[in-house]
Amino acid sequence: MAEDQKRKTMKPNLTFARHIETLYVRLDTRQCKACWACVKACPQQVLGKVDLPFHKHAHVDRAEKCKGCQRCVKACPNGAITKKATIHEPATQRDRYDRHAAG
């Protein structure tokens, strides 16, 4: 299939903005030094490369495949990938407690 046709048939990813985050991790492309350690570390092939002559950084390619294993966070030597709070984490538990306490 020609590249143009492929692009037209791809569904837009409306869940995660600008290919910088999944449900579990967030990528700061300004901190990225394009070493590709995160791309190699991800067992789900979530992360990809923007590898142009003067514009290189990792990006989130398939956010929906992320399992939240955090291997990319540990692999990045520049702190460009950070863990996000998720619906299962303390913030939500605290919210639930607050709602319960409020009656």
Q: Which is nearer to ligand SF4, 7 or 17 (CB)?
A: 17
With binding defined as CB under 6 A, does residue 33 bind ligand SF4? yes
Query: Which residues are 50's β-sheet partners?
Result: 57
Q: Which is nearer to ligand SF4, 33 or 96 (CB)?
A: 33
How far, in Å, CA of 45 to CA of 37, rounded? 12
With binding defined as CB under 6 A, does residue 16 bind ligand SF4? no
* In the complex, minimum distance from the CB of residue 84 to ligand SF4, in angstroms, rounded to a whole number: 10
In degrees and rounded to multiples of 5, residue 5 shows phi and psi of -65, -40
